[in-house]
Structure 1
Amino acid sequence: MLTKTDPVDLTGFSVPGRGNGILDVFRRRYLLRLLVRKGVSTRYRNSALGWGWSYVKPLTQYFIYFFVMGIVLGRNNGIDNFAVYLLSGIIVVNLFNEAFSNATKSIVDNKALVKKIYLPREMFPIAAVIVAFVHFLPQVAVLVVVSSLVGWVPSLLELGAILLGALIVILFATGLGLIFGAVNVSYRDAQNLVEIIKMLATWGSPVLYSYDLIARVLPDWLQTLYMMNPLTSAVELFHYGFWFSTTDGGLQPPPNLVRDSLIGLLIVLAITAIGQLVFRRFERRFAQDL
């Protein structure tokens, strides 16, 4: 029998509820796969079109923008293959908006699991981002078909630009999702702020217009900040990857696209690190606030 003075051997035990954050998520890939599979399989459950909605919704959005911006406002006359230009920008913003929005709601939507068992809480926003990426792939398939119809034959450099653009968006949505997902547990106003950010993402990046229009109205220093916006870099990388080679060279890629893209990548890596710190700070209150 142990007495009050006898030491207790805690070898082999770990303090419950503590972990290594994002690193633990990828150490428990089986749980991550389960959450992703659940998110994908329940997305369109009991719907007639099912995965067809992954095509219908973005295409509907595309045709509205194409009619308003391309035909009514005449932007299709100033940009060669405006259909490819517009679609390649829209799917980037759609990926960010869906991943960011879903990650913000992920903790609250999984409150039953959060309150009952311990697992790395970061797993929920990361799984939400991966699910958004899965839904992004059918949109890429449509873009590939449309681009191929106008003569797109990708080079290794263009494929690298596409992959870098997707990586920037995924990391950006993950970092912001960690921050807003954690804050949203205690302050549900976060979801309203996310809607504002999503609107700014659509209009604050060169999706519905070309970047050179911004250069005409902004001073040089503000234009530089605009081009360093990670979403701007990602959109322009997709334009370079899918659209630029199909044109006659009228509108050139941004002059400092490589520099701005690398800066954007550093920014999203910093945001992801900050997101992890904020998430860990709020995490201790999740169970009681839910």
Structure 2
Amino acid sequence: MNSQHYRQVVEIRPSKGLFDLELGLVWQYRELLYFLLMRDLKVRYKQAALGAGWAIIQPIIATLIFTLVFGVFVKVPSDGLPYTVFAFTALLPWTLFAESLRRGGISLVGDSALIQKIYFPRLVIPLATALTALVDFLISLLMLFVLLLWYSIPLTLNIVFLPFFIFFTVVLAFSFGLWLGPLNIKFRDVQHIIPFLLQIWMYACPIVYPLSIIPEKYRWLYNLNPMVGVIEGFRWSLLGKENAEFQAIWITVIFVLLLLFGGVVYFKKMERSFADLI
């Protein structure tokens, strides 16, 4: 008998229009997403004596420095909370956002060999980097619960909104990565600008100081910073603040949705030229 060999054929066609985003392909390549996620985690902690412990050590050291400088020496107010908890609660979402954005901005260039060799939806790459930072965040979050227990700060029903703010932190960073990743392919200066901008941006957020010190007449302008809504949302859901900064939160939600939609469209438009430019 003649044996017949069957071969799977994948037909690659260009998108039909600007809004033909082919998002379903990302789900079809979910195994590749998992592989990239695990690869990034293994590379990050390869031959590291403390392994995933660095996800806890980094924000703790930053918190101790902020507590000493701003809490003890400068005596910045902390809304009646222990300054260590006040700063650490804000550092967690900021670190998640900053690491996701930084990695997402350089992820396409870092995986240039993979892009040039095989076909797959390129959206998988920045998505994997965002999820890698999320794993580090979840480890650090455990340390925050230990601090809350140490300072006898009880959790309230606001905690049910915490996944919402975690989700929007990741999506915000992922959305920026959709813009910065393709730009970094064309202009390699982007990878050098990102750390500089993040350093400045951090002090434009209510991390080492409370939102209450911002004059009321300028509060709306300050709230245009999308990370204000995220950080205040974390403090509200974790520390049981009576009133949430809903104006900042809604600005963040609207900003994220617009940035995400525009980022996906821009990413898909530039995707065709990745292999040639990279």
Same-fold status (TM-score > 0.5): yes
Q: 1:149 Cα deviation (Å)? A: 2.0
Where does residue 116 of structure 1 map in the other structure? 117
TM-superposed deviation, 1:139: 1.1
**Paired residue for 2:248?**
260
In the alignment, is the contact (CA less than 8 A) between 2:29 and 2:120 conserved in 1? Answer: no
Q: Determine if the alignment matches structure 1 residue 235 to structure 2 residue 231.
A: yes
Query: Within 2, Cα distance between the matches of 1:71 and 1:278?
Result: 46
Matched to 1:167, the amino acid is: F
CA shift, 1:21, in A, is: 4.4
Post-superposition offset of 1:186: 1.1
Q: Measured at CA, do residues 14 and 77 of structure 1 come closer, stay the same or move farther in structure 2, by a change above 3 Å?
A: closer
Mapped contact 1:125–1:177 kept (Cα < 8 A) = yes
Letter matched to residue 289 of structure 1: L
Shift of 1:66: 1.1
The answer to whether the 8 Å contact 2:90/2:234 transfers is yes
Aligned position for 1:65: 66
SS of the residue 2:214 aligns to: helix
CA distance in 2, matches of 1:177, 1:87: 25
Letter in 1 for 2:221: L
CA spacing shift, 1:215–1:164, aligned 2, 3 Å: farther
Equivalent residue of 1:75, what SS? coil
CA separation of 1:107 and 1:16: change in aligned 2, threshold 3 A = same
- Residue 189 of structure 1 deviates from its aligned partner by 1.3
Give the deviation of 1:118 after TM superposition: 0.5
TM-fit CA distance, 1:17: 6.1
Which SS does the other structure have where 2:209 is aligned? coil
Q: Aligned runs of 1:157-236 on 2, under 5 Å?
A: 157-160=158-161, 162-215=162-215, 220=217, 222-236=218-232
Relative to 1, partners in 2 of residues 1:207 and 1:64: Cα closer, same or farther, differing over 3 Å? same
Q: Over residues 25-81 of structure 1, what are the superposed CA-to-partner deviations in whole Å (9 max), with x where a residue is unaligned?
A: 233211111111111121110122211211111111111111111111012676422
The answer on whether the counterparts of 2:26 and 2:124 sit within 8 Å (CA) in structure 1 is yes
Pick closer, same or farther for the CA change 1:199–1:262 going to 2, 3 Å: same
Query: Cα gap change, 1:211/1:53 in structure 2, threshold over 3 Å: closer, same or farther?
Result: same
* Structure 1 residues 200 and 116: CA distance shift in structure 2, 3 A: same
Under a length normalisation based on structure 2, what TM-score does the superposition of the two structures give? 0.88
Quote the residue 1:150 is aligned against.
151
Conserved 8 A contact 1:107-1:125: yes
Whole-angstrom distance in 1 between the partners of 2:25 and 2:215: 44
TM-score (norm 1): 0.85
Unaligned runs of 5+ in 1: 1-11, 246-251
* CA RMSD, Structure 1 to Structure 2 (Å): 2.0
1:120–1:208 Cα change, 3 Å = same
Deviations 1:94-148 (A, max 9, x none): 0010000001111111111000000011110010000000011111111111012
Instruction: Give the structure 1 partner of residue 81 of structure 2.
Output: 80
Whichever residue aligns with residue 234 of structure 1, its letter is V
- Checking the alignment, whether the CA contact within 8 Å between 1:99 and 1:174 is kept in structure 2 is yes
- In structure 1, what residue type is equivalent to 2:37? V
The answer as to whether partners of 1:88 and 1:238 remain within 8 angstroms in 2 is: yes
**Amino acid of the structure 1 residue aligned with 2:110:** D
CA distance in 2, matches of 1:156, 1:244: 8
Equivalent in the alignment of 2:47: 46
Structure 2, unpaired ranges of 5+ = 1-8
SS of 2:153's equivalent in the other structure is: coil
The one of 11, 14, 23 aligned to 2:11 = 14
Equivalent-residue separation in structure 2 for 1:265 and 1:23 (angstroms): 24
Would you say the 8 A contact 2:229–2:251 is kept in 1?
no
- Counterpart of 2:260 (choices 266, 269, 272) is 272
Cα deviation for residue 197 of structure 1 reads 2.7
